[in-house]
Amino acid sequence: MSRPNQSLDNNANARILLADDEPRMLDSLRVLLELYDYQVDTALGGQAAIDKLSTEQFDLILLDLKMPDISGHDVMQFMSNNNLETMTIVVSGETSLDDISKALKHGAYDYLKKPYIPEELTSTVSNAIRKKLLENSNQAMQERLNRSEKLHRFIVNNSPDVIFILDHQGNFSFLNSKIESLLNYPKGQLLGKNFSAIVDAKDQEKSQFFFEQASTPHSGIQSIELEIAPFSPGQNSRHFEVSLWPIDEVNDKGTLNTSQRYRIYGTARDISEKMEAEAFINFQAYHDLLTRLPNRSLFKDRLSVAITQSQRNNTKLAVMFIDLDRFKIINDSLGHTAGDRLLQAVSLRLQGCIRKGDTLSRFGGDEFTLLLPDVKNSKAATQIADKILSDIKKPFQLGKHEVYIGASIGIAIYPNCGDSMDELIKNADIAMYRVKKTGKDGHQLFTNEMRSASTEQLMLEQDMRKAIDQDQFEICYQPQVNIKTEKLYGVEALIRWNHPKLGRLSPAEFIPIAEESHLIVELDKHTLQKACQEIRHYHKTGFPDLRLGMNLSPLMIERDSFVNDIIDTLNQQDFPPHLLELEITENVLMSDRPDIINKLKTLNEQGINIAIDDFGTGYSSLSYLQHLPVNTLKIDRSFIRDIKNTEDEACIVNAIISMAKGLKISIVAEGVENQEQLNYLKALDCTIIQGFLFGQATQLVNVAERYSKEPIKI
């Protein structure tokens, strides 16, 4: 007796149950089948077989029909009722046609008669096991296919992308449900319609060409960005990245087997948010976020293109550099939020003054640039500048405040004022600064003379850096006299520059340059140190209570080290703090910046006096004076100058002095030049006087020599 092919039958994985009421039969069958490496279990009687089948899984059962307790027919009925897939071979002595028919009706695989022939039995078992294992394999494969299909459907229907298939005519033959959630298209309405039904009108031609290319053999995956039209009118279209794969089979010649146009699998990914993000990033790179205007980079790009076009067409263009006048005062007085709102309002008003093809940009801070391509002549540019100035002068409403500003505009015409982008911008800037120097609130065309002046300004800035190191600056002192005690009260330190080539320069010639280049900080520190040193010498030689007044730049006050710089200088020179008076402008205090107020309070607590210089020319109010660390008000010379001519100016001086007395603040009257002014101030009980009547600014030795004799005849 030969053994079956074990590798074919895979016997080790097959489980067989033997059910019979004769123990000897069970033993003989078990021994025979175990020779073939089957896993064999036995059940003595029908009930035992049912118990085994209820708890364990078998591939095959060899079943006797005639058993005293429960027959084999009952066991097969149990298996049928419980949908057990165990294969059955009947091994029985019952040979009636009725028994055989009934067994086969219950699903028996075969029927063997007792006594069995071993070869026949093992062959039948082998065939049954082979069939059973094949059925199991097919069933497992089917289950995997079902699971795979279910998973595929889940993935397709829950994909973040629209998934579709087009037939040979380019019509939708399949769509997942994403088309409904993304675009509100009913899936059923699109099936059978051409893909062009959902493409926006402006992308129709592009999409047609794309789909034709994607359907050709060996094209591989192709992608394109398309705008998809919304389902409902009034909705915004969305941008999708569409990817396509041709799925038609090709013949051995590499051509499609079908003569029809398409059979394509495709996906459409919504990239609207991505494109919006990219557009916003691009906008940030080339626009000012506060005003939404083009920024410096975009302005230069457009200017470069405009120059190229002007060269090609032999036309002119104009570049304007616009700087707002009095913006800093408003920004400091009302705060940065109000300043931002003002810039936004200005940008809107400027846009109303220009043509559609012009480019207005915010160049930085309160500076704007304007490109006027294709202008006929300089007159056309100045007419636009006049319109801008006229509109800018109209009041701006910032909350409860109505504010007024102006503008200084420099104009450079291509090619007269330069033939390159940088040169045009630079020359327009130079022309704008010429307006600033000559009184602001106007416009100026660039001329070659201005280039020379600008070069001189740059050279002056370079010389100034050397001058600080080489101590070329000289301090002059203007006396302040107490007309009650008839003694010298103090002096105000004023800086002069002994330039090695240009001679003696007044502050008006170099202070603006120092402010612009921030050299004013080093200049103020140098002046304070030198003045303290010189005044300290006269404290010890006849003027022990001589006070020093000095004007400070806002740039120095804004420095973090401002307080320490002042205190360190006083300590180094052993200068009494109560004899120092720091003069600041109204605008510094009106900015209401806590950090600056705290700095001034700290200095005031050290005994240093704080004075408001040129009082009355800014926007000070009583509420500010009551809470700020102010010791002295210096009445601006413009109010003193016309005392004899008008009563109005006199009334202002009277009001300032009365207010200062009420607040217990000292008064210094500047610009006193004649006896009539002095008599009026004496009548108002103004005690400290400063002006040409008591001497011009000169070296300290001259002041000391003049006022060393007492009393002073007033």
In a domain? residue 688: yes
Cα–Cα nearest to 300, from 424, 428, 407: 424
CB atoms within 10 A of CB 390: 10
The rounded percent of the chain whose pLDDT value lies above 90 is 37
Cβ(65)–Cβ(95) below 8 Å = no
Rounded-to-5 percentages of helix, strand, coil across the chain: 50, 25, 30
The model's pLDDT over 42-99, given as tens digits with 9 standing for 90+, comes to 999 999 999 999 999 999 999 999 898 899 999 999 999 998 989 999 998 877 888 8
Residue 574 sits in the same domain as residue 499: yes
Tell me which of 21-35, 311-325, 443-457 is least confident.
443-457
HEC readout, 561-597: CHHHHHHHHHHHHCCCHHHEEEEEEHHHHHCCCHHHH
Identify the domain boundary among 254, 277, 300: 277
Mean pLDDT across the stretch 241-262?
61
Residue 200 sits in the same domain as residue 344: no
Q: Is the pLDDT higher at 347 or at 219?
A: 347
- Phi and psi angles of residue 687, each rounded to the nearest 5 degrees, phi first: -95, -30
Average pLDDT, the chain: 85
> How many domains is the chain partitioned into structurally?
4
In a domain? residue 238: yes
The model's pLDDT over 385-435, given as tens digits with 9 standing for 90+, comes to 999 999 999 999 988 888 989 999 999 999 989 889 999 999 999 899 888
Query: CA 172, CA 510: separation in Å to the nearest integer?
Result: 78
Mean pLDDT across the stretch 311-331?
91
Record the tokens describing residue 14, joined without a space.
Answer: 């097959």
Residue 190 sits in the same domain as residue 90: no
Find all residues with CB under 8 Å of 316, minimum gap 6, and list them: 310, 374, 375, 376, 377, 413, 414, 415, 416
Q: Where are the beta strands (DSSP E) in 415-528?
A: 442-445, 473-482, 487-499, 503-505
The model's pLDDT over 671-710, given as tens digits with 9 standing for 90+, comes to 999 888 898 888 888 989 999 988 889 999 888 888 886 5
Asked whether residue 2 carries a pLDDT value surpassing 50, the answer given is no
Residue 168 sits in a domain whose CATH number is 3.30.450.20
Residue 328 sits in a domain whose CATH number is 3.30.70.270
Residue 535 sits in the same domain as residue 420: no
| Cis peptide bond upstream of 230, omega within 30 | no
Residue 116 sits in the same domain as residue 63: yes
Question: What is the predicted pLDDT for the residue at 11?
Answer: 61
In a domain? residue 709: no
- Provide the Cα torsion 137, 139, 145, 148; round to 10°: -100
Most confident range, picked from 29-33, 499-503, 662-666, 710-714: 29-33
Q: Cα dist. 62→124, 130, 572, 711 in Å?
A: 11, 15, 117, 144
In a domain? residue 32: yes
Mean pLDDT across the stretch 596-608?
91
Query: CA 212, CA 613: separation in Å to the nearest integer?
Result: 80
Query: CA 54, CA 84: separation in Å to the nearest integer?
Result: 9
Asked whether residue 670 carries a pLDDT value surpassing 70, the answer given is yes
Q: Is the pLDDT higher at 139 or at 626?
A: 139
Cα–Cα nearest to 611, from 638, 591, 595, 629: 629
Residue 34 domain boundaries: 6-140
Residue 336 sits in the same domain as residue 254: no
Query: CA 320, CA 431: separation in Å to the nearest integer?
Result: 9
- Per-residue b or e along 333-348, where b marks 16 or more CB atoms closer than 10 Å to that residue's CB: bbeeebbebbbebbbe
The SS3 assignment for 712 reads coil
Tell me which of 370-379, 583-592, 594-603, 626-635 is least confident.
583-592
In a domain? residue 714: no
Tell me which of 148-152, 234-238, 594-598 is least confident.
234-238
The model's pLDDT over 454-508, given as tens digits with 9 standing for 90+, comes to 667 778 878 888 888 888 899 999 999 998 888 899 999 999 998 888 888 888 8
Question: What is the predicted pLDDT for the residue at 218?
Answer: 59
